[in-house]
Structure 1
Amino acid sequence: MADLPPPSPPPAGLMSHDWAEGHRSGFASFVGRPNAGKSTLTNALVGTKVAITSDKPQTTRSVVRGIVHRDDAQLVLVDTPGLHRPRTLLGERLNDLVRTTWAEVDVVAVCFPADEKVGPGDRFIVTELAKVRRTVKVAVATKTDLATPEQIGQHLMDIERLGRETDTDWAEIVPVSAVAGDQVALLEDLLVAQMPEGPPLYPGGELTDTPDETLVGELVREAALDGVRDELPHSIAVVIEEMVPREGRPADRPLLDVHANLFVERDSQKGIVIGRKGARLQEVGTNARKQIEALLGTPVHLDLRVKVAKDWQRDPRQLRRLGF
């Protein structure tokens, strides 16, 4: 969970004189309280799944970059964890990651779900964001497919008022639905307009710079989060131990062996994840495998093991071991 690394250098042959005058490139970060639609919006703009989604709070734990390629621009989307009032060392580290990201990107887009009222959690985030003076701020009313036109209108006025009350100057306020595709292209245009002129930062066709092991681990965790009790999501971590092609397979029938450990904090949680006679874990494996195969484009054998790392969210040594 280190600071944002610098972008990859332009690929060979893509020198400064190769990009057209007026081309824009830069970084935008979606922020908001948990489950505000940040990851879904990232995936909609990129056009493929680069960030996991769930109805559980605190789904996103790593900074995932999605890359939008256009003839006139390259937009690099940074999907961060939801900023929240931390109760554990993990929570504190996730919040530190969010604040570091805010200071390093060109635009921060705050997501306010249109099916919920603007509340204390939103005010907390915007108040914190107001301390970052140089970064452009955009407000996005997400999930408009779940709200009536009257609700959306009131929501936009509430967002504008929150900006005034926190001394936050919104460069834009735009309603979107990532699920329905409403105004996603408009949001993209508005974000691009805020980017500085410059050459592409990544090679054409590259949709994310997140390592495959990280994406696979996130897909396993997404499958594990589906349908579990409210108190469990924070306690699940996934570590990919190994991803290797199966030896001796013919070239036209490859198979990738993926070995992953799911860590929970207590023995009782282990039982919940495994389920009766292993049924729950088997379902997690089936769902995760389908997503991994779609991501990597190859058949996968997924081996899942559930282990206990006692109170790992509060233990610095365990957090380092699990990659936080």
Structure 2
Amino acid sequence: MSSYRAGFACFVGRPNAGKSTLTNALVGQKIAITSNKPQTTRHIIRGVLHRPEAQLVLVDTPGLHRPKTLLGQRLNDLVRATWSEVDAIGLCIPANEPVGKGDSFIASEIGELKASLVAVVTKTDLVSKKELTEQLMAVSQLGEFADIVPCSAVSGDQLGVLTDVMISHLPSSPQLYPDSMLTDEPEHVLIAEMIREAALEGVRDELPHSIAVLVEEIIPEGNLTKIYADIYVERQSQKAIVIGARAERLKRVGMTARAQIEDLLGKRVYLDLHVRVAQDWQRDPRQLRKLGF
């Protein structure tokens, strides 16, 4: 009988626990956008980690939160549906922040699931050994975990150990994805996410959830790829913020996103960005559908 294992795992945790950063570090390529703003992740993105004896498919999900809009409700539904289908769940808790109500809430939510539960203490590069020991003790009180693993996505410390632990909880199974595949996310969604990440940088606190991006067209022309995309906001005043004085912000967004997209595609990119207003799109079922939610 083959000892090959393959299956799905996801990292959960409150906002800024390091879930997307950890997913990117384990896969070895940027597939999930990161930001210090809560609810940055909006799509279910699968990253595939290949080992000779196993295939670990990491599912990056939005963070669970108290929904204030229809979009928020849909994201929470998406998260719970994903949790019920994976083989292993890593609860991420930063080493440099006290264990709080948010952590207890998520631990109780996932405690009932069939998946193996692993506590992952992230950001260990930010604390002393003594502080890490105290945090590991506090985390162990949160619930019944199959394993507890401290690690750092930034320094790379213990990432191999975390991968081994997550794989140990996967079922025996044939390979699920081809060797060359690092994500099953369509190219246009990854490109839209890279533009959205660039647009999130430096905007005021009220804007993060109001920004959505739709890639209208991707036209390959030899070694150049032309991309036409629209950045959507909910109000005229937000449009002015995203564009900036003399369109300086929008130019910066374009330059940052273009560099990332060129890395992704391995080609030169011409990026054409427009900012459009879709009034209160987060609450409008028709607009949510158009924007892919």
TM-score normalized by the length of structure 2: 0.98
Per-residue deviation, residues 190-217 of structure 1 (Å, max 9, x unmatched): 0111111111100012100000001000
- Cα distance in 2 for partners of 1:231, 1:157 equals 37
For residues 108-123 of structure 1, the aligned pairs below 5 Å read: 108-123=89-104
1:59 aligns with 2:40: yes
Identify the residue that residue 193 of structure 2 maps to in structure 1. Answer: 218
1:160 aligns with 2:120: no
- Consecutive unaligned residues in structure 1, runs of 5 or more: 1-19, 164-168
For residues 1-324 of structure 1, the aligned pairs below 5 Å read: 21-132=2-113, 134-163=114-143, 169-246=144-221, 251=222, 254-324=223-293
Contact 1:138–1:170 (8 Å) recurs in 2: yes
- Consecutive unaligned residues in structure 2, runs of 5 or more: none
Q: Letter of the aligned partner of 1:47 in structure 2? A: G
- Cα distance in 2 for partners of 1:59, 1:85 equals 14
Q: Letter of the aligned partner of 2:232 in structure 1? A: F
Q: Letter of the aligned partner of 2:92 in structure 1? A: C
Q: Secondary structure at the match of 2:22?
A: helix
Moved more, 306-315 or 280-289: 306-315
Q: Secondary structure at the match of 2:24?
A: helix
Deviation at 1:290, TM superposition (A): 0.1
Deviation at 1:95, TM superposition (A): 0.7
- Cα distance in 1 for partners of 2:65, 2:137 equals 24
- Cα distance in 2 for partners of 1:86, 1:123 equals 18
Q: Which runs of 4+ in 1 moved over 4 A?
A: none
Q: Secondary structure at the match of 1:262?
A: strand
Contact 1:84–1:121 (8 Å) recurs in 2: no
Q: Letter of the aligned partner of 2:291 in structure 1? A: L
- Cα distance in 2 for partners of 1:258, 1:44 equals 27
Per-residue deviation, residues 99-156 of structure 1 (Å, max 9, x unmatched): 0001101001111111111111112211211232x11111101111112222211211
- Cα distance in 1 for partners of 2:259, 2:265 equals 10
Q: Letter of the aligned partner of 1:280 in structure 2? A: R
- Cα distance in 1 for partners of 2:256, 2:38 equals 20
Deviation at 1:88, TM superposition (A): 1.1
Coordinate RMSD, CA, aligned: 1.0
Deviation at 1:314, TM superposition (A): 1.3
Contact 1:109–1:137 (8 Å) recurs in 2: yes
Deviation at 1:178, TM superposition (A): 0.4
Deviation at 1:310, TM superposition (A): 0.9
Q: Secondary structure at the match of 1:162?
A: coil
- Cα distance in 2 for partners of 1:104, 1:128 equals 14
Contact 1:81–1:94 (8 Å) recurs in 2: yes
- Cα distance in 2 for partners of 1:123, 1:85 equals 15
Q: Secondary structure at the match of 2:6?
A: strand
TM-score normalized by the length of structure 1: 0.89
Deviation at 1:56, TM superposition (A): 1.3
Identify the residue that residue 15 of structure 1 maps to in structure 2. Answer: none
Q: Letter of the aligned partner of 1:159 in structure 2? A: V
Contact 1:66–1:209 (8 Å) recurs in 2: yes
- Cα distance in 2 for partners of 1:115, 1:271 equals 37
Deviation at 1:162, TM superposition (A): 1.4
Per-residue deviation, residues 57-111 of structure 1 (Å, max 9, x unmatched): 1111001100011111011000000111111111111111110001101001111
